[in-house]
Structure 1
Amino acid sequence: MIAAPPRPAAFAALAATRPGPAGTAFLRSGMHARRLLLLKALLVRVRRHRDRIAPETLRGFEAAWNLLERTERGAPGVVRAVLDYPTTGAWLAAALTAPPGPALDRHLAHLEPLAATAAVRAGRPLDLVLRAPGGVLPLPGAGNVLVPPGPVRLISRSQVVRVHSEAAPGAPAALLRPVGPPGGAVTGSGPGWRGLRELAGGAARLDDLDPYRAPPGGVGTPARIAAERPDIDHSAWSGHWRAARELLRRTDPARAVEIGRTVGALVPLLPQGPRAVGATLSVAPGAVLMTPSAGAFDMAETLVHELHHSKLSTLHELVPLYRPGRAAVLYRVGWRADERPVSGVFQGAYAHLALADLWRRARDAPRVPGAWSTRAAQQFDHVHDQVGEALAMLLESDELTNEGREFARHMRQLHASLGASPGARG
């Protein structure tokens, strides 16, 4: 998907890793346009392969599509929020690449609970039957309901939705209801209800339930696997999140605000060592996947690092920064033992430049803990030269587009200012 670059000032601010309303709005609107494009592509795929889709799956998909359209007409903001939730992007990617047959049918069925979630959030009247594979009815961005395997009926009355198991008609029902401002969120109660936990000071949820929160085989090398709810210390995650946000607020208030507005899902991964290991998925911007952190410093750094991977991936999809080059062209960067293609150099340079900016501010900020300031000074000295070397590689490469070269030049300007006196910083 190719779009016109944002205005020069916003483009420069994005390249300098600085949060700004214009750059954020450009990325957010571009991401939403891409979601709509992928959703339309999925509809086209269903129509093309309808003879190879199970009749029950096809009926459910078409009914869910109609429900989503009706909800969108009355509450477009609600549907946008559900479609823009990070895991919706991961679901669309899986559904668009699955081969026709049982795998595709399984992914298509997810549109039913997604449309139902939007309808519940919008307070629409409901009386529909959904499937709950494995006895779990997922509600993206809200939680899930554990039910006996089999069909599940959702019936609303006065904006309270009762979740009945068709397989056990006499069993007590879970209840769902919209909360907050119109279209704000969904909460629940009763047997089987498991809600996502909100994280303080922003829109983020600790998502340990969504079936699309991480790839089935894990993410990265070695593979990092999504943690399950019984294995997660929710109070520790919430405490580290609050402490990291406060640390960022003292160090760089604009970054603290950006984290709160941009990170929609924090996805716990199984532990791998004493410090946090983070990851992002290009198909799910707004989700940060990470192993448990060692504390506020560790989580703050991981959030900033991974957010900038996500921002650059989204920007590159809208405005290509580099073009596919020769497969043999690899580069060695200071923060990796293996050689990297130009995409990896660009991603790493951008994320580490954001950290260098953060560490420079933490080193000089008067109101941050002394241990954070000392750590930041050490980390800054270690990374600053590595980023400079990577930027030189990028600017000498013939794989960058014109926009990519301009972006890298702006990155170099920030990098140069970080090595100047403290008063030279913006």
Structure 2
Amino acid sequence: MASAPPFRQFVLKVATRCDLACDHCYVYEAADTSWRHKPRFMTDEIVRRTAERIAEHATAHRLPAVALVLHGGEPLLLGPTRMRATLTTLRDVIESAGCAVDLRIHTNGVRLTSEYCDLFREHRVRVGVSLDGDRTATDRHRRFANGASSHMQALRAVALLRDDYPDIYAGVLCTIDIRNDPVAVYEAVRDARPPRADFLLPHATHSDPPVRANPEQAEYADWMLEVFDRWNAESRPFPIRSFTSVLDAFRGLPSGTESLGLDPVDLVVVEADGTLEQTDSLKAAYDGAPATGFTVAEHSFDEVSVHSGFEARRHGLADLCETCQRCPVVAVCGGGLRTHRYSAPSRTTPPVRPPDPFDNPSVYCRDLKELVTGIRTRTQTSVVARVPAQRSLGLSADVLHQLAHGYGDAKAVAHLNRFQRSLHILLLAKVFAAAEGNSGSLQELVDAAIAMLKTLDAGHKNALHDVLGHPYTSVWALRCLDDAQSGHANPEDFAHLASLAAAIAIRAVVDAEIEVPVRRGAVYLPTLGRLVVGADAGRSLTMRISGGDCDVFSAPGWQGVRRVALPSFAGGGIALEDTDPFRRCHHWEVAQRLPDSDATTWIRTVPAAWDLLARDHHSYAPGIAAGLSTIVPLAPSLSGRAVSSTARRAYGAIGVALPVAATGPKGPSASTLALLMIHEFQHAKLGAVLDMADLHDPHDTRLFEAPWRQDLRPLEGLLQGTYAHVGVTDFWRVRRFTALDSEEREHAEEEFALWFRHTLRATHVLAGSGSLTPLGLHFVEALRTTLEAWTSKV
């Protein structure tokens, strides 16, 4: 195994010129002028050499996947013929090394055509488009050299992707200008219906500061919070990375972007001439700032990886200035983008040891702090009912012993299930009360749904509990209640009561006729699926239910929830949930509706993972079978890392991207999926316990060392991580003996030793925090006992 930290993301500058003349471009209009000396296009030879170097790097580090982004300039200037050759070479060379390739391209959209989109679909390339908002916002910067507007071309590009090629539509990037109307910009981006979007701060430094009307005001934060408020009021119709990264960081999760958070950066740029550079944004700092002196022809990526510029972005908090290290929001903002911390050295007589020009707070420091604080203030209120801690925990000594030690059999998990069911019933009652006066023009539909739900509750409790037990029903209920409490109730959310009633009636085999809402072009039936009816279908439609059947099931647009049959599970199997609109609460992007081929792979891989769990991991398998009802397929990570998630309020569900090997030459990675199932269900169990009792002081806002991360974590995040990693450690402990080949057993030994050390260290940090309740101390001491029982095995 190579010792240099690996790169997982590669930006290839396949074209170095652009057909627009944007005056805010960091490539052509900023401090760096190296583009003047670059060839216009990356040659076939450099493409192939780059692919060979990436394959070599992936093999050395055993990377299951890498992410490649074709960039420029404007990459579509390459032309379809050269583009096809480039894509073919990249895929053939890298995938022949057993490494999957996530290919993306970012374009201004001017030259995007159906011919290009067909090519990208063929080579599985996802396309992102720059769109700065409405016509006024776009024309402020994004013009042709003759001054003509590029707005219509950008709109045409997103319309082409949105309407004809949604499977390759990656999303929209918008560069902020505070002189533009934030609501108008947001609405223009929203109308593009992107699968995700990002609002980017314009690249600036202390030497070349951003445009401001009042340097004493956090104008960029004010602008972004206006967008956040509108996005939040509309129930967050699509992920906006600028906001989801902050929300994720509050929960102790990775930010997913180098602009926020303290996660190490694993990206390298390959220029058209084969030179290897650091992140492009550094071009805004000074001429030559991204340069490394390395080339793809003469140097491996391992040699580049130890360059000081890359090392400076790997050490989290330690890389930041003292002001940032002392800041209470540093774990969320991460000091901002490194480029934005640059200040040109003084031209006076240089000191013996010149200062680091990046050792400063961000030029957007005030904005980042106000943005983080503003989002926290807007989202910190929760209406989840808490049960008084010790008195009502109601766990038997045996159940408490199992959960505290990190385990939990079917009996223990059944206790958590019962509590969650009672919590869901309480939430539904609260939604009934909050719906009065909050449903607007849909009030009649909501009132009829409530009446039907009360009738069904009287005679069909099993069907009612099946639907209320759906993990994302509680996510929906909490959204309704949070929004109503904040004064931003969404009538469409309350109208979802009718969808619940319809799903319960179908399950209860009740004959009924019920009006249900149309939400973003579809009718959703929780636990059953959705009917896609299109954007012009109106706000509701009437469904007819008879004998457990429904007229929508035979409609052309019906997309049922697929299930993986596992007889040992409480519900007879696991649902692959790729239809529910409220599943978008995971910190990773959820996958769109799975094509049949992908669904088939899932249906084949999940049982293989379960067989491994049932055979080798008896301390976890019965609890998972009793409590896990749903897997939400997630989109793969650009970095190639394993992707999984547990949403705190979606008990019974986990989010997972099918391990990359499942689509590669080695076939499904059942062992990786088994590991992720243990890891995420540990989070689910502890989250359910925390709904029942406090394990720590919720008012302690300090940050603590997490041995497996470079940044500091809040207390609950550390507790959750520790509990989950006890399961991870145990997985590798067993895998040392059950893996089929010696190489895999050796890998398991390394992983076990690593996670044992990290997790044991974390129990000491938790115990020394001074903020655990007596029950929390009991849990941490029990976890330490579990780990120490394995000491002789290390």
TM-score bucket (shorter structure): 0.7 to 0.9
Greater alpha carbon shift after TM alignment, 3-12 vs 349-358: 3-12
Within the alignment, does 1:252 sit opposite 2:617 as a pair?
yes
1:58 aligns with 2:443: yes
Could you list the per-position Cα deviations for residues 329-380 of structure 1 after superposition, in whole angstroms to 9, with x for gaps in the alignment? 2211211121011111111110000111222122234x85655533322211
1:306 and 2:691 correspond? no
* CA gap 1:79/1:124 in 2 versus in 1, 3 angstroms: same
- Residues 268, 292 of structure 1: 8 Å contact kept: yes
Q: For 1:252 and 1:372, how far apart are their aligned partners in 2?
A: 17
Matches within 5 A, 1:178-197: 188-197=553-562
- Residue 411 (structure 1) aligned with residue 776 (structure 2): no
Does the C-alpha gap of structure 1 residues 78 and 207 become closer, same or farther in structure 2, counting only changes over 3 Å? same
Aligned to 1:126: 512
Residue type of the alignment partner of 1:256 = A
Task: List alignment gaps of at least 5 residues for structure 2.
Answer: 1-385, 661-668
* Structure 1 residues 404 and 102: CA distance shift in structure 2, 3 A: closer
Farther-moved stretch of structure 1 (387-396 vs 145-154)? 145-154
Indicate if the aligned counterparts of 2:410 and 2:625 stay in contact, CA closer than 8 A. no
Given candidates 216, 226, 249, the residue that maps to 2:590 is 226
Match of 2:477 among 67, 70, 92: 92
Can you list the C-alpha shifts for 1:302-343, whole angstroms capped at 9, x where unaligned?
A: 11111111111110110111112432x221121112101111
Matching residue within 450, 461, 483 for 1:76: 461
| CA drift at 1:283 | 0.9
Matched-pair contact (CA < 8 Å) for 1:126–1:161:
no
The DSSP-based 3-state class of the residue aligned with 2:565 is coil
Change (3 A) 1:92 1:419: same
Deviation of 1:113 (Å): 0.7
Aligned AA (1:204):
I
SS at 1:141's partner residue? Answer: coil
Deviation, 1:397, is 1.9
Alignment correspondent of 1:322: 696
Answer yes or no: is the 8 Å Cα contact 2:510–2:546 preserved in 1. Answer: no
Match of 2:715 among 327, 333, 342: 342
Question: How does 1:270-309 map onto structure 2 within 5 Å?
Answer: 270-272=635-637, 273-294=639-660, 295-309=669-683
Indicate the residue corresponding to 1:184 in structure 2. none
Q: For residue 169 of structure 1, what is the aligned residue in structure 2?
A: none
Rounded to whole Å, the distance in 1 between the matches of 2:517 and 2:479 is 19
Q: Partners of 1:357 and 1:67 in 2: how far apart?
A: 47
Partner of 1:166: none
Counterparts of 1:229-244 in structure 2 under 5 Å? 229=593, 233-244=598-609
> 3-state DSSP class of the match of 1:191?
coil
> Which amino acid letter does the alignment assign opposite residue 76 of structure 1?
K
Q: Is the 8 A contact 1:274 1:293 kept in 2?
A: no
Q: Report the Cα distance in structure 2 between the residues aligned to 1:370 and 1:37, rounded to whole angstroms.
A: 52
- The one-character-per-residue Cα deviations of 1:259-306 (angstroms, maximum 9, x if unpaired) are 333221111121113342111111101111122313112211111111
Deviation at 1:253, TM superposition (A): 3.6
238-247 vs 25-34, which moves further: 238-247
Query: What amino acid sits opposite 1:37 in the alignment?
Result: L
Aligned-residue offset at 1:15: 1.6
More deviation, 342-351/144-153 = 144-153
Q: Write the distance in 2 (CA, Å) between the matches of 1:357 and 1:189.
A: 47
Distance of aligned partners of 1:158 and 1:290 in 2 relative to their CA distance in 1, 3 Å threshold: closer
Indicate the SS of the match to 2:581. coil
In structure 1, what is the Cα distance between the partners aligned to 2:686 and 2:407? 13
Q: Does 1:205 pair with 2:578?
A: no
The whole-number CA distance in structure 2 between the counterparts of 1:9 and 1:258 is 14
The structure whose residues are more often helix, as a share, is 1
Distance 1:5 1:406, change over 3 A: farther
1:262 to 590, 615, 627: 627
Structure 1 unaligned blocks of 5 or more: 163-173, 175-187
Partner of 2:757: 385
2: CA distance between counterparts of 1:391 and 1:159?
51
Q: Return the alpha-carbon distance in structure 2 between the equivalents of residues 130 and 281 of structure 1.
A: 27
Q: Which moved more, 1:401-410 or 1:292-301?
A: 292-301
Shift in CA distance, 136/101, structure 1 to aligned 2, threshold 3 Å: farther
3-state SS of paired residue (2:582):
coil
Name the CA distance, whole Å, in 2 between partners of 1:300 and 1:353. 15
Matches within 5 A, 1:98-137: 98-99=483-484, 103-137=489-523
Higher Cα Rg: structure 1 or 2? 2
Query: Structure 1's 226 and 103: CA in aligned 2 closer, same or farther, altered over 3 A?
Result: farther
Contact 1:75 1:122 in 2 (8 A): yes
Using the TM superposition, name which of 379-388 and 14-23 deviates more.
14-23
Deviation at 1:138, TM superposition (A): 0.5
Query: 2:700 and 2:464 mapped to 1: Cα distance?
Result: 42
* Paired letter, 1:385: R
Percent identity for Structure 1 against Structure 2: 27
In the alignment, the residues of structure 2 paired with residue 326 and residue 160 of structure 1 have an alpha-carbon distance, to the nearest angstrom, of 52
In structure 2, what residue type is equivalent to 1:407?
A: F
Deviation string, structure 1 residues 127-179 (Cα, Å, up to 9, x no partner): 222222333110111111123513322223444332xxxxxxxxxxx3xxxxx
Alignment of 1:349-360 (within 5 A): 349-360=722-733
Query: Is the alpha carbon distance of 1:314 and 1:127 closer, same or farther for their aligned partners in structure 2, counting shifts above 3 Å?
Result: same
How far the C-alpha of 1:124 sits from its partner, in A, is 0.7
Shift in Å, 1:38: 1.5
1-side partners of 2:674 and 2:773: how far apart?
A: 32
CA contact (8 A) 1:240 1:293 kept: no
Aligned partners of 1:371 and 1:243: how far apart in 2? 21
The one-letter amino acid of 1:375's match is: H
Instruction: Tell me how far apart the structure 1 counterparts of residues 394 and 458 of structure 2 sit (CA, whole Å).
Output: 30
How far the C-alpha of 1:101 sits from its partner, in A, is 7.4
State the match for 2:401 in structure 1: 12
Equivalent-residue separation in structure 1 for 2:744 and 2:563 (angstroms):
27
Do the aligned residues in 2 keep the contact of 1:53 with 1:101 (CA within 8 Å)? Answer: no
Q: 1:230 to 1:31 in 2, by over 3 A?
A: closer
Greater shift, 248-257 or 89-98, is seen at 248-257
Amino acid at match of 1:206: L
Residue number in structure 2 paired with 1:145: 531
Structure 1 pair 349–159 and aligned structure 2 pair: CA distance change class (3 A): closer
Q: Which amino acid aligns with 1:289?
A: G
TM-superposed deviation, 1:87: 0.8
Q: Which amino acid aligns with 2:630?
A: A
Q: Aligned in 2, Cα 1:404/1:383: closer, same or farther, shift over 3 Å?
A: same
Paired residue secondary structure (1:305): helix
1:196 CA drift (Å): 1.0
Q: Note the C-alpha offset of 1:405.
A: 0.8
- How far apart are the structure 2 equivalents of 1:341 and 1:244? 32
Relative to 1, partners in 2 of residues 1:254 and 1:198: Cα closer, same or farther, differing over 3 Å?
farther
Is 2:476–2:493's contact at 8 Å kept on the other side of the alignment? Answer: yes
Note closer, same or farther for the CA distance 1:211–1:19 as it changes in structure 2 (3 Å cut). Answer: same
Contact 1:124 1:159 in 2 (8 A): yes
Aligned residues: 386
Contact 2:410 2:626 survives alignment (8 Å): no
Structure possessing the higher relative contact order (Cα contacts under 8 Å, 6 or more residues apart): 1
| 1:146 counterpart letter in structure 2 | V
